[in-house]
Amino acid sequence: MQMFFTPETELRVRIGGFQGALKKKGLDGAIISQNVDLFYFSGTTQRSVLYIPQQGPPVLMVQKSLERAKEESALELIEPMHTPMDLKRLVRKHGIDSPRALGLEFDVLPVAHFMRLQKVFPDVSFSDISLLIRRLRMVKSSCEIEQIEKAVGVIERILFEAKEMIREGLTELEVDGLLRSLARRQGDQGRLRMRGWNQEMFQAHLLCGKSAAIPSFTETPIGGPGTTPAIAQGAGYKRIERDEPILMDLGAGINGYLADVTRTFVIGQLRERFYQAYRVLQEVETMVESEGRPGILCSHLYREAVRLAESRGFGEYFMGFGEGKVHFIGHGLGLEIDELPVLAKRYHSPLEEGMVFAVEPKMVFPGEGAIGLEDDYLVTSHGLRKLSHFEDGIIHL
């Protein structure tokens, strides 16, 4: 597998769309600092600052490594930058007028970094452009969709091999380690990025029995015990036993882009209640597949999923239990695992062609375990196209 570099044509379309949004907001330009946004607009995550003017070519100012940034990025204007104070000088060097209003990524920008920028541009007013960027990234190009589909393929190959690998008596951690090895062998990037403050995510959540019902700090219905309060999520020391659900929530990343798929396994048989609940999860996915199309509100799909779970008598356990319950059934996918759109209670925006998102209905039974199903979808002009196709029933080992 060869290293992939974002094409210049792709960057040009992204920057052009963003510059149009800056103009509508009345901003002279934007300063991009966060790694994911930096990669989206420049094609590199070398330690840099990207200045995007309202019109004209952007300037990438690199602290380390300049050589790699020039190799990885298709942008034309790439300059070395030794201190933040160089920023204004480098912008002026390329004929960009002194700005009066600039956009910053307020949702992820450290306060110390913001204060330094205030010193560099003392006469500038700053505005938040986080939502502008997230909305732009929400609709995927054919190039981006291709990378996500490659990531889905990695997960499906892992699931296939996992069927032969999971055995009674292995610990969650042992299986978790095997899953990571399988992923890296296939070129997985080894890290899932999240935008949310203090939110972190493993490549895999392999949880069995009551472990999967342990809530945690993450904005997910499934937490897991982890190995230490310093991490407090994911696989722990519990051994896999017969006749209990084994929940495998897998993420993979190829060329920056992520996929997210969940399946439920068992060695032996589950209690009938688990099978009944799983059929509800399948109904939820079928409902989303049937109703999802451009123009349908994300909040509508969420409400219909909750209504369905409640009508089947499983509302109490749907998408978590007690303080572990979350109020969404799906999330956008792209360079981050928590992108827009969100199929959530209060997210009233409509689906748009080109969006990619995961639908992840789950049930959590306290003290017993959890079951889950998760697949990835592309919004097309005709409806939803399912990207993940691994067998979607409870998988008996």
- Cβ atoms within 10 Å, residue 66: 18
- Cβ atoms within 10 Å, residue 108: 17
Q: Is the pLDDT of residue 164 over 80?
A: yes
Rg (CA), the chain: 22
Regarding whether 147 and 132 lie in a shared domain, the answer is no
Domain total for the chain? 2
Average pLDDT over residues 323-348: 96
Could you tell me the two tokens for 237? Answer: 């020391």
Mark out the alpha helices in the chain (DSSP H runs).
8-25, 35-42, 66-72, 86-93, 111-120, 130-138, 142-165, 172-185, 272-291, 298-311
Instruction: Tell me how far the alpha carbon of residue 74 is from its chain's centroid.
Output: 25
**Per-residue confidence (pLDDT) for residue 203, from 0 to 100:** 80
Regarding whether 339 and 222 lie in a shared domain, the answer is yes
Average pLDDT of the chain, as a whole number: 95
Q: Is the pLDDT of residue 77 over 90?
A: yes
Could you tell me the two tokens for 267? Answer: 């060695």
**Per-residue confidence (pLDDT) for residue 94, from 0 to 100:** 86
Q: Is the pLDDT of residue 143 over 90?
A: yes
Average pLDDT over residues 216-241: 92
Regarding whether 115 and 146 lie in a shared domain, the answer is no
User: Measured between alpha carbons, how far is 274 from 364 in angstroms, rounded to an integer?
Assistant: 10
- Of how many residues is the chain composed? 397
User: Measured between alpha carbons, how far is 391 from 393 in angstroms, rounded to an integer?
Assistant: 6
**Per-residue confidence (pLDDT) for residue 1, from 0 to 100:** 66
Regarding whether 149 and 112 lie in a shared domain, the answer is no
Residue 241 lies in a domain: yes
Regarding whether 358 and 214 lie in a shared domain, the answer is yes
Average pLDDT over residues 270-279: 97
Helices and strands of the chain, counted as H and E runs? 10, 17
Regarding whether 182 and 131 lie in a shared domain, the answer is no
Q: How much of the chain exceeds pLDDT 70, in percent?
A: 100
Average pLDDT over residues 249-258: 96
Which pTM value belongs to this model?
0.95
- Model confidence over 32-48: pLDDT tens digits? 999 999 999 999 999 99
Write down which residue in 137, 152, 173 finishes a domain: 137
- Model confidence over 82-139: pLDDT tens digits? 988 898 899 888 888 889 999 999 999 999 999 999 999 999 999 999 999 999 999 9
| Residue 218 binned pLDDT confidence (cut-offs 50, 70, 90) | confident
Range of the domain at 347: 139-396
Residue 3 lies in a domain: no
**Per-residue confidence (pLDDT) for residue 36, from 0 to 100:** 97
Residue 79, beta-bridge partner list: 61
Write down which residue in 106, 137, 168 finishes a domain: 137
Residue 205, beta-bridge partner list: 249
Q: Comparing 60-69, 177-186, 263-272, which segment has the lowest mean pLDDT? A: 177-186
Residue 179 lies in a domain: yes
Write down which residue in 137, 165, 193 finishes a domain: 137
CATH classification of the domain holding 241:
3.90.230.10
User: Measured between alpha carbons, how far is 146 from 60 in angstroms, rounded to an integer?
Assistant: 26
Residue 264 lies in a domain: yes
| Residue 311 binned pLDDT confidence (cut-offs 50, 70, 90) | very high
CATH classification of the domain holding 89:
3.40.350.10
Q: Who's near 333: CB < 8 A, 6+ residues apart? A: 148, 257, 258, 259, 260, 339, 356, 357, 358, 376
Average pLDDT over residues 255-273: 97
**Per-residue confidence (pLDDT) for residue 4, from 0 to 100:** 93
Regarding whether 207 and 313 lie in a shared domain, the answer is yes
Residue 1 lies in a domain: no
Q: Is the pLDDT of residue 59 over 90?
A: yes
